[in-house]
């Protein structure tokens, strides 16, 4: 599913995303396709996601968002954007 197919805004905490990855794949969750963006497992506390503006770390405390208007992005812990 790509960002043009996002119908409602969805948000995942780091732990929710890890559980989602485990529940929806039958393979190791090292690389997950999320609305047209690959998240790559760097270590147990970090996934890397390639976005239009560069590679972003998705870590505990962060929120991964899929938004029909803004696309896919990460809200870093402590960021109010």
pTM score of the predicted model: 0.79
In this prediction, residue 26 carries a pLDDT of 61
* Count of structural domains, the chain: 1
What does each C-alpha distance from 75 to 24, 25, 28, 57, 64 come to in angstroms? 23, 24, 25, 10, 6
pLDDT 10s digits, 12-65: 999 998 888 788 766 656 788 888 888 998 998 999 999 888 999 999 999 999
In this prediction, residue 29 carries a pLDDT of 65
* In a domain? residue 48: yes
In this prediction, residue 32 carries a pLDDT of 84
* In a domain? residue 80: no
In this prediction, residue 80 carries a pLDDT of 55
* In a domain? residue 65: yes
* In a domain? residue 81: no
- Residue ranges making up the domain that contains 55: 3-75
In this prediction, residue 62 carries a pLDDT of 96
Q: Are 58 and 64 in contact (CB under 8 A)?
A: yes
């Amino acid at each position: 599913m790509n960002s043009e197919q996002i119908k409602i805004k969805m948000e995942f905490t780091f732990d929710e995303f890890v559980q989602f990855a485990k529940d929806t794949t039958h393979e190791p969750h090292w690389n997950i396709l999320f609305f047209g963006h690959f998240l790559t497992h760097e270590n147990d506390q970090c996934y890397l996601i390639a976005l239009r503006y560069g590679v972003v770390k998705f870590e505990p405390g962060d929120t991964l968002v899929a938004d029909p208007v803004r696309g896919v992005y990460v809200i870093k812990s402590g960021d109010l954007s």
